Amino acid sequence: MKKNPIISIIREARVDENRAPLTPNQIKTLTNKFPNLQVFVQPSKKRCFKDEDYSKVGAKVKEDISSSDIIFGVKEVEIATLIENKTYLFFSHTTKVQKDVNQVSQDKAIIYKKELLREVIKRKITLIDYENIRETSGKGYRYLGFGRFAGIVGCYNTLNLYIKLQQEQSLPRAFEINSYEKIKELISKQNFNKLKILQTGSGNVAKGAMEVLKHANIKQIPINDYLNKKYNEAVFS
């Protein structure tokens, strides 16, 4: 690594993406551990952390990140903005392109991912896809992926949508609250009537979703009861 390495956080291209690959606190931890490290952050009005949050921990908020050594994003980077000979980390989804590609050749998303991969190769970019950072013991578990909080946020937002459909008003979205304790408090006060929910899966995401269902006072019942009995309260299995 060079004497004064530079890492950057790119502005996300997707209009619905407000996540960040590194938090201001993580930037502070990195720069404390590596004093020579410089951090650039492209300005963004939609990112979940404000530009000044990064400035306060020593990052430079600037548009031009062409001098970066490593560039971090969350989702697919816009092809036109790719910088030659750089190292990028983001979810590119390009490893999924090959499967059944002939059957979905007209799918715009597949076409875009193929073009993205071609351009990465053309511009001599090192692409590190988060999805392919895996342990090497043989099972190949991913180090980065959806976990407990994805289930918590997804379940809360889904229940919130149900509230909106029933009452034509809703609670704040999870990202607006940004507090699990507040989410639990809000969801515990709602009435879900005779709503019946069937949840599949047994991983970390499912466990997170089940936490929210229980905080919402939605009763867990056996699958046979779910299929055969009637309830006067909200239930899930």
User: pLDDT digit string (tens) for 22-78?
Assistant: 999 999 999 999 999 999 999 999 998 999 999 999 999 999 999 999 999 999 999
Between residues 195 and 1, the one the model is more confident about: 195
Predicted confidence at residue 167, as pLDDT, reads 79
Q: How many residues does the chain have?
A: 237
Predicted confidence at residue 98, as pLDDT, reads 52
CA 225 to mean position of chain CA atoms: 35
pLDDT for residue 210 is more than 70 = yes
Mean per-residue pLDDT, 182-204? 93
pLDDT for residue 99 is more than 60 = no
Q: Which residue is it, tokens 């697919």?
A: 76
Predicted confidence at residue 113, as pLDDT, reads 84
Tell me the average pLDDT of the chain. 90
pLDDT band (50, 70, 90) for residue 2 = low
Q: How far apart are CA 49 and CA 89, in angstroms?
A: 19
Phi, psi of 42 (to 5 degrees): -70, 135
Mean per-residue pLDDT, 177-201? 93
pLDDT band (50, 70, 90) for residue 101 = very low
pLDDT single digits (tens) 122-176: 999 999 999 888 888 767 677 887 789 999 999 999 999 999 998 778 899 888 8
Q: Looking at the chain, which residues constitute the CATH 3.40.50.720 domain(s)?
A: 6-132
Give me the percent of the chain exceeding a pLDDT of 70.
93
CATH topology of domain 6-132: Rossmann fold (3.40.50)
Predicted confidence at residue 109, as pLDDT, reads 75
Task: Among 105-109, 122-126, 181-185, name the one with the lowest average pLDDT.
Answer: 105-109
Predicted confidence at residue 105, as pLDDT, reads 47
Predicted confidence at residue 107, as pLDDT, reads 66
